[in-house]
Structure 1
Amino acid sequence: MNTRIKKRFIAGAICPKCNALDTMALTKEDGVEKVTCVSCGEQMVQAEEQVEKEVRQHEQVIGVFKP
């Protein structure tokens, strides 16, 4: 099964790694949001609240990405 994931670019966003402007794309799959820089590949991930509650009960977390 070949599913396409829609990318939404975030206007005015600057990549924290390479400092490129307007290269950050947001995708969402299985309740998890992922922001990826299309220039350098830097990624940040955040799960939706209901997904996070299920996943986080059984693991230790150092920090959670909050945009």
Structure 2
Amino acid sequence: MLGGHLCRLIETVLQIIDRFSVRSTTRRQNHLDGLVTFITVAEEKGFSNAAVKLGVSPSAISESIRGT
């Protein structure tokens, strides 16, 4: 059930990004990377667990979500 909700959430976020005319492929990819990271944090119930799953540091998780 959660997977269906996440898919709808991702679709909605992508529509919002498109509405703001994100023309740069790199910028759009950065938004998507942050979204994937955010979802992984939610699924893993924390930054540390998400960092282990994604093979990065917890600070990289934070930076990805912030978009820096």
Tell whether the structures are fold-level matches, with TM greater than 0.5.
Answer: no
More strand by share: 1
Query: Which structure is larger by alpha-carbon Rg, 1 or 2?
Result: 1
Normalising by structure 1, report the TM-score: 0.30
TM-score (norm 2): 0.30
Please state which structure has a larger fraction of its residues in helix.
2
